[in-house]
Amino acid sequence: MTPESLRLTVNEAARVLDDVPSGERLLDTLRWRLGLKGTKEGCRTGSCGACTVLVDGKPTLACLTLTHEVDGTSVTTIEGVGSDRVGAKVRAAFQTAGALQCGYCTPGFVMALTGLLKERGRTIPLSELLEDLGGNLCRCTGYVSIVRAASMALAEAP
């Protein structure tokens, strides 16, 4: 049985989705049903953070989330992060710090960092912020510039 249609707000646009199979993950809904390819599939087992999006402002692994489980929520992906006050600052910090090599992990890092700064603001110590980014992996190992971007974004967080 396929559950009834579901409603999501994706990057501030209301979407009604019909015929989403019960086992479909949010990652596949975003990439293949909605064409938002900015959210990346890395490990598909919740180990790499590449698929991180915000669900009601909270960083969430889209690969480990059934789409029906987030029915009624607001989802923000890398494509919509610029409309978020904190997200825009994080994106700018990644640009300024040149915090990417191949770029595959970048959307996940930007969303994870945006979520953390929205949750904790500038009260979070840098050491804890970096610890909390530990769920995102960069296979190019370009961490030095990512850490620079994170400290820049923290300094400018509201």
Q: State the residues that interact with another protein by CB under 8 A.
A: 1, 3, 21-25, 44-47, 49, 52, 55, 58-61, 64-66, 68-69, 112, 115-116, 119, 131-132, 134-136
Q: CB-hemisphere CA count at 13 Å for 29? A: 30
Q: At its nearest, how many Å lie between another protein and the CB of residue 128?
A: 10
Rounded Cα gap, residues 14 and 27, in angstroms: 18
What angle separates helix 143-156 from helix 106-120, to the nearest 10 degrees?
30
Phi and psi, residue 132, nearest 5°:
-75, -10
Q: At its nearest, how many Å lie between another protein and the CB of residue 55?
A: 8
Quick one: 25 or 40, whose CB is closer to another protein?
A: 25
Quick one: 17 or 64, whose CB is closer to another protein?
A: 64
Q: At its nearest, how many Å lie between another protein and the CB of residue 7?
A: 14
Which secondary structure element, helix H or strand E, spans residue 15, and what is its range?
strand 13-17
